[in-house]
């Protein structure tokens, strides 16, 4: 009777332990199944995102091809326009050359008429006054015709003089290097080794040159250096004015990051 009781007790204990272990394993199995289902849903979501991105990439490729085609057509159109405009520009030049030749042609035979007028008195002294009057009349148109090209040439020179002076003044602001030792342009915020090299290639070697830049100079430098308003944002001209004037104290106060690792 005692042995049967112990066997029954051991059976019940084993049943309870087995049920407990089975419950633990079943819980872990359910957890693994949940993780697997979640991973599958994430995989499906990633596949959908991949398909969507592939479609957007294809659309971007088509848009890029369309833009490149339009760019090629736009580049071809000005080229055709300039080639068609060349004969039109050559025509006024030809007209100007023919008109200039027509104006200068009557001035050549003018000196020959006074010679004939002087030679006639030797043959017949009597009609001297009559021969002198036509000669005087003939010389007057010759002088007026000859004076026209000279006046037009002087007017052209006077109109071209201000333009040449303005172009020379704009070029000397940047192209002419400053005399003496060049300044250390890298002290300015925004100028590193590459920008300093580009500026020196344009003839800019001093703070005074940068301080004297005009709006046209700024546009030309930004076109060369592929900038877009950076000179105004980084206040190159204000920095250069302070350094050109030797005002180191005010420069350090207004631009404390100059000369540091964040200079460029």
Where among 21, 42, 72 does a domain terminate? 72
Its domain, for residue 199, covers 161-264
Do residues 244 and 207 touch, judged by C-beta distance below 8 A? yes
Neighbours of 114 (CB within 10 A): 15
DSSP 33-87: HHHHHHHHHHHHHHHHHHHHHHHHHHHHHHHHHHHHHHHHHHHHHHHHHHHHHHH
229: left (phi over 0), alpha (psi -120 to 50) or beta: left
**Tally of residues, the chain:** 264
Q: CA dist 129 to 100, 120, 124, Å? A: 36, 11, 11
- Calculate the alpha carbon distances from 153 to 104, 107, 139, 163 in Å: 13, 16, 22, 16
pLDDT tens per residue, the chain (264 residues)? Answer: 788 888 888 999 999 999 999 999 998 899 899 999 999 989 999 999 999 999 999 999 999 999 999 998 998 886 655 555 454 445 445 445 444 444 454 444 444 443 333 433 334 444 444 433 433 343 433 343 334 444 444 444 445 554 544 444 444 444 444 456 889 998 999 898 988 999 999 999 999 999 999 999 999 998 988 878 889 999 999 999 999 999 999 999 999 887 655 565
Domain-embedded: residue 155: no
Domains: count for the chain: 2
Helix (H, G, I), strand (E, B) or coil at 205: coil
> Does residue 95 form part of some domain?
no
Angle between the N-to-C axes of helices 128-172 and 112-123, in degrees from 0 to 180, rounded to the nearest 10:
160
The number of angstroms, rounded, from the C-alpha of 174 to the middle of its chain's C-alpha atoms is 17
Domain stops at, among 37, 72, 107? 72
> Is 97 domain-assigned?
no
| 165 plus 67 within the same structural domain | no
Is residue 197, in this structure, part of any structural domain at all? yes
Indicate the residue among 41, 72, 103 that finishes a domain.
72
- CA angle, residues 30, 32, 36, in degrees to nearest 5: 115
End-to-end CA distance of the chain: 97
| 169 inside domain | yes
Tell whether the torsion through CA atoms of 240, 242, 245 and 247 is positive or negative: negative
């Amino acid at each position: 009777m005692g042995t049967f009781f112990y066997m029954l007790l051991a059976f019940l204990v084993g049943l309870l332990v087995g049920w407990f272990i089975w419950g633990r394993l079943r819980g872990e199995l359910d957890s693994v199944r949940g993780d697997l289902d979640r991973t599958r849903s994430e995989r499906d979501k990633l596949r959908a995102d991949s398909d969507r991105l592939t479609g957007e990439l294809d659309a971007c490729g088509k848009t890029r091809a369309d833009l490149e085609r339009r760019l090629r057509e736009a580049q071809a159109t000005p080229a055709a326009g300039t080639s068609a405009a060349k004969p039109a520009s050559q025509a006024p030049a030809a007209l100007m050359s023919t008109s200039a030749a027509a104006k200068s042609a009557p001035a050549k035979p003018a000196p020959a008429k006074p010679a004939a007028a002087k030679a006639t008195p030797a043959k017949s002294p009597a009609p001297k006054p009559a021969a002198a009057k036509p000669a005087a009349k003939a010389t007057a148109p010759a002088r007026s015709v000859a004076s026209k090209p000279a006046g037009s040439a002087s007017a052209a020179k006077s109109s071209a003089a201000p333009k040449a002076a303005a172009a020379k003044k704009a070029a000397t602001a940047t192209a002419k290097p400053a005399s003496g030792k060049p300044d250390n342009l890298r002290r300015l915020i925004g100028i590193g080794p590459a920008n300093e090299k580009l500026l020196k290639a344009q003839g800019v070697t001093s703070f005074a040159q940068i301080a004297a830049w005009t709006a046209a100079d700024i546009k030309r430098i930004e076109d060369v250096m592929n900038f877009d308003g950076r000179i105004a944002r980084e206040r190159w001209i204000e920095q250069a004015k302070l350094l050109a004037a030797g005002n180191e104290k005010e420069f350090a106060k207004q631009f404390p990051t100059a000369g540091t690792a964040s200079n460029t």
